[in-house]
Structure 1
């Protein structure tokens, strides 16, 4: 990880680990909780927390810490320079209005997909997802499309590194099943995931390209009771593909 070259700064790693310990599931943490999450001593965790508080990235009521608005600065520069969201948003918004469903754009970041744009249908209340939310790539339609688009050696390395977690009884349970789903996504140019990440939800995704390289996946999230799987190929997927093609065209024009 660079330590052998002499440039690696462990304190930077620890600082980011402390910040990353605050999650939507655990937004408020004590010193002891942060120490346990980051494998730091309680004294070291306290020093990092107090420093981050003094710098404005955290706030505290004395015993419990939480992220402060300034923590948004870390990701905002990336989002500000990323052309994908600004290009995709009008097309995703129009698609959401046409379908009455939630639309999203995700990119692959290591083993996860990260949402960079999203328009939510009011009735989709099962999963709380915002720009910046991350999910394991293997468990999502977006992730399978993006994994399928990797170079063969990168794809193999990704598949070999997956840690399977059964989110629901329908979740893909092992390497062979996941490989088959990824290969299917690559062959047909879209992926569908039903009841795997959250019961009652279905996601379909298609790739978005720039200069001939897949850079993102556009997605529609639906409730399973609204449309049977068989009808998606005639209804949702053609409109999703059309929106992705328009996003791709705009990206390449820029």
Structure 2
């Protein structure tokens, strides 16, 4: 892509939208400018444009996102029908294990939760659909990176492997070895790498042609399960669930239902 094909105003618009977060739920114009590095006049024009489009609203000197922002995520679900296909399988897995079940995909060097059934909160950070976590320190990231192109692995390594918990792998060679083990085993189990005490497992969900579409994940705490128990009792259930999702995707593909028709999803 050439520089003239790059629309900087769109980049700035998204930067302003992403400035709204848990730390800045209702920022002032000055706070948005500080968070984005944009000038106040530029931020003002962008906020007024987003206000006219219905994505933000003014509250005195502060700004807030409107529910219309949620439609962006809904459009993702509507154009990716595998999420609707996977949801009942996630519910069943959560019921069988009595722990949270998630589906995630890779976005750059992060993992993004695209579907989730939460039975209990096991992490200090709040996890919802759309939440992002570093790929290098999660079981989902290990699975997605293990079967990704070499360029993806290099991008993860280039971004750095910061220590997030006591057992986070920070050495590039050790990380490559971990990915090799995931490919050999067919699954990943990660303990205390994203957060101390967090124990998670993931298996690949494949498309009808065998490509890895997403990672199916299970999470608990070291006080509730051991790695050995997960490998013996939970991984087989996860692999059955992933296989069932793949079968449904194949059936839907055969009936030409994997299209972009709008559907309610699970929002």
User: 1:241: how far off?
Assistant: 0.9
The whole-number CA distance in structure 2 between the counterparts of 1:200 and 1:169 is 9
Offset, 1:125:
5.7
* Structure 2 CA distance for aligned equivalents of residues 173 and 28 of structure 1: 36
Check whether the contact 1:139–1:197 (CA below 8 A) recurs between aligned residues: yes
In the alignment, which residue of structure 2 is the partner of 1:110?
108
Give deviations 1:139-174, integer Å, cap 9, x for gaps: 2100110001112x3244333333333222222223
Normalization by structure 2: what TM-score? 0.88
How far 1:89 moved relative to its partner?
Answer: 0.8
Q: Spell out, residue by residue over 1:66-117, the C-alpha distance to the aligned partner (whole angstroms, 9 max, x if none).
A: 2111111222211111122111111110110011000000111111111111
Question: Which range moved further: 189-198 or 175-184?
Answer: 175-184
Work out the CA distance in 2 between the residues paired with 1:60 and 1:177: 49
Unaligned runs of 5+ in 2: 253-267
Once the 2 structures are TM-superposed, how far is the Cα of residue 25 of structure 1 from its aligned partner?
A: 3.8
The separation in 2 between residues aligned to 1:25 and 1:138, in whole angstroms, is 25
User: When the two structures are superposed, what TM-score results if normalisation uses the length of structure 1?
Assistant: 0.92
Q: Identify which of 76, 81, 85 aligns with 2:79.
A: 81
Number of residue pairs the alignment of both structures matches:
251
Could you tell me how far apart the structure 2 residues matched to 1:143 and 1:76 are? 24
- Tell me by how many angstroms 1:216 deviates: 0.2
Q: Which runs of 5+ in 1 are unaligned?
A: none
In structure 1, C-alpha distance between the alignment counterparts of 2:106 and 2:7, rounded to whole Å: 26
Q: Is the 8 A contact 1:116 1:132 kept in 2?
A: yes
C-alpha RMSD of the superposition: 1.6
Deviant stretches of 4+, over 4 Å: none
- 1:159 and 1:179 in contact (8 A); partners too: no
Which of residues 69, 72, 83 is equivalent to 1:71?
69
Looking at structure 2, the residues matched to 131 and 118 of structure 1 have their Cα atoms a distance apart, in angstroms, of 6
Q: What's 1:207 paired with?
A: 204
Match of 2:195 in 1: 198
* Distance apart, 1:123 and its partner CA: 5.2
Aligned mates of 1:225, 1:190 — CA distance in 2: 22
Distance, in Å, in 1 between the alignment partners of 2:168 and 2:23 is: 21
